[in-house]
Structure 1
Amino acid sequence: MITPIILSGGSGSRLWPLSREASPKQFIGLVDEHSLLENTIKRLDNVKDITSPVVVCNESHRFQVAEVLRKINKKGDILLEPLAKNTAPAIALAALHLATNDPNTIMLVLAADHHIENLEVFHQAIEKAQQKVLEDDSLVTFGITPTCPHEGYGYIKQGVQTTISGVYKVDKFVEKPSATVAQEYLDSRKYYWNSGMFMFTARAYLEALEKLQPEIYRGCKETYQKSQRDLDFVRFDKQSFATVQSQSIDYAVMEKAINVAIVPMQQSGWSDVGSWDSLYDIAAKDSCGNVVIGDVITSNVKNSYLRSHDRLLAAVGVNDLIIVETADAVLVADKNKTQDVKKIVETLKNQQRSELLQHKQIYKHWGSATILEDKSGYKIQAIQLEPGKKLSLQQHYHRSEHWIVISGTATVTIGTTKSIVRPNESVYIKIGESHRLENNGKIPVILIEVQVGEYISEDDIIRLDTSS
Structure 2
Amino acid sequence: MNENYYCIIMAGGMGRRFWPYSRKQLPKQFLDFFGTGETLLRTTFDRCKGMIKPENIYISTFIDYKDLVKNIIPEIDEKQIILEEERRNTAPSLAYASHVIQKTNPDATIVVVPSDQLILNIDKFRSSILKGLDFASTSRKLINIGIKPTRPETGYGYIQIDEDEREGDFCKVKTFIEKPALEFAEVFVNSNEFYWNSGIFIWHVVTIMNAFHENMTEVCPKLECDAPDFSACPNISIDYSIMEKADNVYVQLCDFGWADIGTWQSLYEASPKDINKNVILNSNSLLYECNENIILMPKNKLVVAEGLKGYLIAEHDNVLLICKKDDQNTIRRFVNDVEMKFGEDFV
Establish whether TM, by shorter chain, passes 0.5: yes
Question: What secondary structure does 2:275 align onto?
Answer: coil
> 1:427-450 CA distances to partner (integer Å, 9 max, x unpaired)?
xxxxxxxxxxxxxxxxxxxxxxxx
- How many correspondences in the alignment? 340
- CA-atom RMSD, angstroms? 2.0
Question: What secondary structure does 1:169 align onto?
Answer: strand
User: What letter matches 2:217 in structure 1?
Assistant: P
Whole-angstrom distance in 1 between the partners of 2:208 and 2:335: 35
Alignment partner, residue 250 of structure 2:
261
Q: 2:17 aligns with which of 8, 14, 17?
A: 14
User: What letter matches 2:226 in structure 1?
Assistant: Q
The 8 Å contact of residues 156 and 170 in structure 1, kept in 2 or not, is answered as yes
User: What letter matches 1:333 in structure 2?
Assistant: C
Whole-angstrom distance in 1 between the partners of 2:328 and 2:247: 37
Alignment partner, residue 155 of structure 1:
158
Gaps of 5+ in 1: 227-235, 358-468
Question: What secondary structure does 1:215 align onto?
Answer: coil
Map residues 2-401 of structure 1 onto 2, 5 A cutoff.
Answer: 2-33=5-36, 34-47=38-51, 51-70=55-74, 73-75=75-77, 77-160=80-163, 164-221=167-224, 224-226=225-227, 236=228, 240-266=229-255, 268-292=256-280, 293-309=282-298, 310-357=300-347
> 1:354-412 CA distances to partner (integer Å, 9 max, x unpaired)?
4433xxxxxxxxxxxxxxxxxxxxxxxxxxxxxxxxxxxxxxxxxxxxxxxxxxxxxxx
Superposition deviation, residue 163 in structure 1: 7.0
Question: What secondary structure does 2:104 align onto?
Answer: coil
Whole-angstrom distance in 1 between the partners of 2:197 and 2:220: 24
User: What letter matches 2:339 in structure 1?
Assistant: K
Off by >3 Å, runs of 4+ in structure 1: 48-52, 73-76, 160-164, 352-357
Q: TM-score normalised to the size of structure 1?
A: 0.69
Whole-angstrom distance in 1 between the partners of 2:94 and 2:14: 18
Whole-angstrom distance in 2 between the partners of 1:330 and 1:294: 14
Whole-angstrom distance in 2 between the partners of 1:45 and 1:31: 21
Q: Specify whether residues 347 and 53 from structure 1 end up closer, same or farther in structure 2 by C-alpha distance, changes over 3 A only.
A: same
Whole-angstrom distance in 2 between the partners of 1:138 and 1:78: 27
RCO (CA 8 Å, sep 6+): is it higher in 1 or 2?
A: 2
Question: What secondary structure does 1:214 align onto?
Answer: coil
Q: Specify whether residues 299 and 152 from structure 1 end up closer, same or farther in structure 2 by C-alpha distance, changes over 3 A only.
A: closer
Superposition deviation, residue 277 in structure 1: 1.6
The 8 Å contact of residues 275 and 339 in structure 1, kept in 2 or not, is answered as no
Alignment partner, residue 363 of structure 1:
none
The 8 Å contact of residues 111 and 133 in structure 2, kept in 1 or not, is answered as no
Superposition deviation, residue 133 in structure 1: 1.0
Whole-angstrom distance in 2 between the partners of 1:117 and 1:274: 16
Question: What secondary structure does 2:251 align onto?
Answer: strand
Instruction: Name the one with the larger strand percent.
Output: 1
Q: Which structure's CA Rg is the greater one?
A: 1
User: What letter matches 1:269 in structure 2?
Assistant: G
Question: What secondary structure does 1:296 align onto?
Answer: strand
Superposition deviation, residue 54 in structure 1: 0.7
The 8 Å contact of residues 20 and 320 in structure 2, kept in 1 or not, is answered as yes
Q: TM-score normalised to the size of structure 2?
A: 0.91
Superposition deviation, residue 274 in structure 1: 1.4
The 8 Å contact of residues 54 and 76 in structure 2, kept in 1 or not, is answered as no
Superposition deviation, residue 32 in structure 1: 3.2
Superposition deviation, residue 103 in structure 1: 1.5
Identity of aligned residues (%): 28
75-84 or 341-350, which moves further after superposition? 75-84
Whole-angstrom distance in 2 between the partners of 1:161 and 1:32: 45
Q: Specify whether residues 22 and 282 from structure 1 end up closer, same or farther in structure 2 by C-alpha distance, changes over 3 A only.
A: same
Whole-angstrom distance in 2 between the partners of 1:177 and 1:320: 21
